[in-house]
A and B are shown apart, each in its own frame.
Chain A
């Protein structure tokens, strides 16, 4: 039997955000609970550092609360939220000096971090793939992550990144080319 929880789950994040905006604390709690895993994973793949990923993810949600009243529902709530996340992740990278040059200087597997629940299910190939993603330039990585990790359509990624959908396609194409090259290098 389809239970109430399942029916509840199909309420959209946009609807939950509007309910939270209207003062519903339960909706806010549910919204954070639902969006946390995807957001954390995204930030982790951006920063490659577990502690930073936790801090930034939490900060994103606290900023979300502070600016919840500004959300007007003209576009998807997650578009708005990922925009905050990318800006915060970039701030952290800037302030901590974690650039691509630094990453390239690291040994191949150092700093490779997965979640704390022992969910390292990826085989060797997957680890190599993650390593290759990790070494993608910052200019193309967000587009790739939003497309393939978050399943966002190009138009929505364009809104998150403030670029045109065509630029998104080009960046993803570039990222895929680089990934293929890096994977060949590992083989």
Chain B
């Protein structure tokens, strides 16, 4: 074995400033040296402690209120003194224009696929038709964003073809859609390493807005961001990444999310939401991602409660022990595996110790499988939405061996982005 790596080398690799050769040497060494792997763990702990320490300053609450009031006051003054705020006024009416365009379009039936208008001759109408926003039980904003992403190319083409206020409105719509972040509801039952790993990912990941709920929270084990964020809600950097205490109970509440990530849960724990997962996916076009765990195949599991949605069928095959991960042909091009250098990435991921025994259902696409053929990641369309299944809650191990963000976070980043149509 080569000589131990230094703190500086570990950190350089971690921060991404080491040369390729040095990074490779450090990674190879870590793979074979428990002592240095432990040092890398210490380094990551230090980083977490640094982040927590830096974020835990108090702030003067009265001064915040004073500042907000002063800002509003200044805002009013500026509005008064601004003789001809042409651009601001123009922008001020944009939401109204956008709303008007949507309203007119809805009234004209252009969002319905059965619209009789000769849409092929009118790029604007074609874009609006492509938006194809169904009028279900969710807010106009959620509908616009969820379905708007699929229509971005048409919207851009329509914007180029239009002029005047309509062009501005279409540009505004496109901006709203582009600026939206996928909203994730992450539910889990028991405290587990995968829950912690995914929670940390969702908290740190700026591309998503996430709400998390764990049904059987155990404070000592939860010594993670949930507890921390609850203690210091104002200081926590994840101001919009929250631990919540009750799962949404109505379809309208669920509709505010783009993706529901369901860890190892019982149907009873999800309450009324268990029965709403099907309409959430099929009717509202939401995405659902199951992560298998020790209870997934049990009779009362949440996954069992939605067998028509699940991309796999559970079997009782014996545990085959640690196995290599194989990328399927479909996986080579599917956006859900859209990580950098995906061939190398999936050639190098560590073996997976446990995977839920299952077979893919007809109509599902397996993207990752174990050498035994058991699906590790499968996906299927269901109505307007899609459902994914990750067959193991041990992928957190992918971050322990070679650095926190090496494999675990990029995979989930790509997977969740693809499931949100981003």
Interface residue ranges, A against B (CB under 8 Å): 1-2, 6-7, 9-10, 12, 14-15, 18-23, 25, 28-29, 32-34, 36-38, 40-41, 44-45, 54, 57-58, 61-62, 64-66, 68-69, 73, 114-122, 126, 129-130, 133, 145, 148-154, 156, 166, 169-170, 172-173, 176-177, 179-180
Q: Nearest CB to that of B88 among chain A residues?
A: A69
**Contact for B237 among A22, A122, A149, CB less than 8 A:** A149
Contact between chains at A2 and B11 (CB < 8 Å) = no
Evaluate contact between A41 and B64: CB separation under 8 angstroms.
Answer: no
For residue B92, CB closer than 8 A to chain A, the reply is: yes
Complex CA–CA separation, A41 to B63 (angstroms):
13
Known: A9-B242, A58-B63. A36 touches B68 (CB 8 A): yes
Residue in B closest to A166 when the chains form the complex, CB atoms = B17
Number of residues on chain B facing chain A (CB within 8 A) = 66
> 1/0 contact trace for B54-77 toward A, CB 8 Å?
111111110111111111101110
Check A29–B78 contact: CB distance below 8 A. Answer: no
Q: Which residues of A contact B75 (CB under 8 A)?
A: 20, 25, 28, 65, 68
Q: Contacts A41-B57, A114-B58; is A2 near B253 (CB within 8 Å)?
A: yes
Is B71 touching A64 in the complex (CB atoms < 8 A)? Answer: yes
Which chain A residues border B68 with CB–CB below 8 Å?
A: 28-29, 32-33, 36, 61
B residues apposed to A, CB below 8 Å: 7-8, 11-12, 15-17, 47, 49-51, 53-61, 63-72, 74-76, 78-79, 85, 87-88, 91-92, 94-95, 175-176, 179-181, 183, 203-204, 206, 209, 211, 234-235, 237-240, 242, 244, 246, 248-249, 253, 256
- Identify 21 residue pairs between A and B in the complex whose beta-carbon atoms are under 8 Å apart, listed by A's number: A2-B248, A9-B242, A23-B79, A25-B75, A28-B75, A32-B71, A37-B64, A38-B235, A38-B239, A40-B60, A41-B59, A58-B70, A66-B78, A116-B60, A117-B60, A126-B53, A149-B51, A149-B237, A152-B206, A170-B15, A176-B11
A5 to B91: give the CA distance in the assembly, Å.
Answer: 27
Contact across chains for B181 and A12 when beta carbons are under 8 A apart: yes
Chain B residues within an 8 Å CB radius of A36: 59, 64, 67-68
Report the separation of the CA atoms of residues A79 and B40 in the bound assembly, to the nearest whole angstrom: 30
Q: How far apart are the CA atoms of A25 and B235 in the complex, in Å? A: 24
**A182, chain B: closest CB distance, angstroms:** 12
How far is A36 from B181 in the complex, measured between Cα atoms in Å? Answer: 22
